[in-house]
Structure 1
Amino acid sequence: MRRLLINAVLWAVFSSCIGCTVAAQVNDAMITEDELEAHVAFLTSSKTKGRYPGTAGNRRVVKYIRAEYENYGLKSFDGDFLQKFQAKLRTSGDEASGKEVKTWNVVGYVEGNNNYLKGEYVVIGAHYDHLGHGGPSSKKPGSKEVHPGADDNASGVAALMEIAEKVARNRYMLDRSVIFVAFGAEEQGLLGSKYFVDHLPVDKDKVKLMINMDMVGRLNAEKQIYMGGAGTFPRGVELMRDLGVEMGLNPVVHAGEVGGSDHVSFYRAGISAVGLHTGGHDEYHRPEDTLDLLNISGERTIAEYIYKVLLRVVNKNYELTFINQD
């Protein structure tokens, strides 16, 4: 009887420990407002000084994202998360005629589990650079103030990292593989995404879809999430609309009208691409685009929404083919 009692106690303790481990794993996989806000706070801090390509602040951000990828357990291509390229800086409007500087895309992936489909990839990305102290793209001409770019696009990078962490913790749910890219030099003319598409780490025909997040931090009272390019892959409009409604969002979905951010580089190369944002605002490309104006709770909902979209399209039962919208 005494032995049975001891065994019962040990089993209760063991079961409790299992429960604690499962709970810890669940908590590790959560997308949280605290972590989103912490990421944005770092990306917009005085030490990063607007994340302008070729600056110490830009390099600081690259190191931060690389460290996060490593912490999540993402894999790298060719043993390095960094894809180096040269960016020619704009000197006026749309003219890229300034000096060339070294910058990077930060690239990692989570491998799928299906023996056949793990060789296919869905890319999810967001650009991490911004305007530094202003320059030709600033909406406050002549300003020398730091442009922190909280919404544009610290919000997208924060969501990217939180989604990457959750996908990595739940990698057993993937059939296809997922590539995570933080693009450099988007504000200089989509340079990072153009370079990535021209130097893909996998065969181009194996890249089935690109999902881009650029300015996802200002969800409004109507909970509108805008997107273009949903018609570039099968059932994309229905998927983006229906999952958005399930999450309590109000999706404004366009089949074509791909947009003007990094996903355009993929679409021009014949790869399905959809870009998401929460709309424009008066602080766009101005020093006033700050953390305190973000809707962090709304961004968490959007990140969870994109995570659900991602799980759906990496599933073996979801066909992914390119549909031209031109």
Structure 2
Amino acid sequence: MKRFLCYALLLLWGGVIYSQTEITTNELKEHIAFLTSEANAGRYPGGAKNKKIVRYIQQAFKDAGALPLKKSYKQSFKAQLRTEKEVVDKPIAKTWNVIAIIPGNDPELKDEYVVLGAHYDHLGLGGPSSKSDKKNTIHYGADDNASGTAALLEIGEKLVSQKSLLKRSVLLVAFGAEEQGLLGSKNFVEHPPVPLSQIKLMINMDMVGRLNDGKQVYMGGAGTFPNGVELMKNLGEQCELNPVVHAGSVGGSDHVSFYKKGISVLGIHTGGHPQYHTPEDTLELINLEGERLVCEYIYRTILKIATTSYKMHFIPQD
């Protein structure tokens, strides 16, 4: 108790920001609640609402102590938005990826990177990607992908608290316009802020908020780096999860953009559900404790790769 009080006084008197050392359901819930709020109207690319979400993510990175990679956390790009097939002139929106770095400490390995990513956008009021017959209705996207964005912020914060252990550097990336065709991740790999050859693994979180009663976590791409399948199974068991691990099955989200550039990937999710791409994908259905367990699993994965000299090279999959 005395130790805790001393720590609290240091925070109050010293004005120093310390990264949180634990991933909590309360903070996961707070992040998802903000992202899925009525005011954010489904997180569609472009406009004032998109800017507000980007500012929120930037501030979360800053508060955690994750640094901008260059002078800014933002990587801007223009997204051609999906419309009904009969629309000829597709609208263009300016949007952003949000990027932060937690630098490694090893003289050589610090120039190698693990990318942890999640897309923050969703469908707005529906549009051609909606699975619902409800027109002009907010699609909240709590699982897809407020859950992944919240996980990114929480895992990033915990990684900062352990930054002295890192040999390799970690990039935290919140991708924009994934729902428009993986546009944020495509822009990242076409205009990479670090050499692609130095990115040793990309872990993507897309829909990680609906862990089932069997505690099954699904992933593709574990065979794209040495002993990946065994590693992910073993770490899953340590976290009391039941990982369903595929060596290949690389597809469906932002990690695909990296895989196509010859970069090892893991695409992690907790499975599909009837609320996918409908207005019913809401916070009330998120398994917050389950998501916390998934975050711990991913955190331990990053520690294994980034705090050791784990041999990494790309292994293509059929």
CA shift, 1:56, in A, is: 2.2
* Unmatched segments (≥5 aa) in structure 2: 12-16
**Alpha carbons 2:25, 2:288 under 8 Å: kept:** yes
CA shift digits 1:271-320 (9 cap, x unpaired): 00110000000000000000000000000000011000000011333111
CA shift digits 1:187-222 (9 cap, x unpaired): 000000000011111111111100000000000000
Provide the C-alpha distance between the structure 1 equivalents of 2:198 and 2:88, rounded to a whole number of angstroms. 31
Q: One-letter code of the match for 2:202?
A: M
Match of 1:3? none
Match of 1:244 among 236, 256, 259: 236
**Alpha carbons 2:120, 2:146 under 8 Å: kept:** yes
**1:322 is the counterpart of 2:314:** yes
Tell me the TM-score normalised to structure 2 length.
0.94
**1:53 is the counterpart of 2:39:** no
Q: One-letter code of the match for 1:174?
A: L
SS at match of 1:187: helix
SS at match of 1:107: strand
CA shift, 1:19, in A, is: 7.5
SS at match of 2:180: coil
Match of 1:117 among 109, 112, 116: 109
Match of 2:145? 153
Provide the C-alpha distance between the structure 2 equivalents of 1:226 and 1:268, rounded to a whole number of angstroms. 21
Aligned ranges for residues 282-301 of structure 1 at < 5 Å? Answer: 282-301=274-293
Match of 1:67 among 38, 55, 59: 59
Provide the C-alpha distance between the structure 2 equivalents of 1:143 and 1:84, rounded to a whole number of angstroms. 30
Provide the C-alpha distance between the structure 1 equivalents of 2:228 and 2:89, rounded to a whole number of angstroms. 38
**Alpha carbons 1:90, 1:97 under 8 Å: kept:** no
Provide the C-alpha distance between the structure 2 equivalents of 1:252 and 1:20, rounded to a whole number of angstroms. 44
Match of 2:122? 130
**1:185 is the counterpart of 2:162:** no
Match of 2:249? 257
Tell me the TM-score normalised to structure 1 length.
0.91
Provide the C-alpha distance between the structure 1 equivalents of 2:284 and 2:88, rounded to a whole number of angstroms. 32
SS at match of 1:158: helix
Q: One-letter code of the match for 2:232?
A: M
Q: 1:214 to 1:97 in 2, by over 3 A?
A: farther
SS at match of 2:157: helix
Match of 2:166? 174
Match of 1:269 among 242, 245, 261: 261
Match of 1:36? 28
Q: How many residues align?
A: 311
Identical aligned residues as a percent: 56
CA shift digits 1:250-272 (9 cap, x unpaired): 10000001121000000001000
Match of 2:135? 143
**Alpha carbons 1:52, 1:130 under 8 Å: kept:** yes
Deviates more, 1:84-93 or 1:96-105: 96-105
CA shift, 1:16, in A, is: 4.1
Provide the C-alpha distance between the structure 2 equivalents of 1:21 and 1:58, rounded to a whole number of angstroms. 37
Q: One-letter code of the match for 1:114?
A: D
Aligned ranges for residues 80-91 of structure 1 at < 5 Å? Answer: 80-91=72-83
CA shift digits 1:202-252 (9 cap, x unpaired): 111111100000000000000010000000011110111110011111100
Match of 1:206? 198
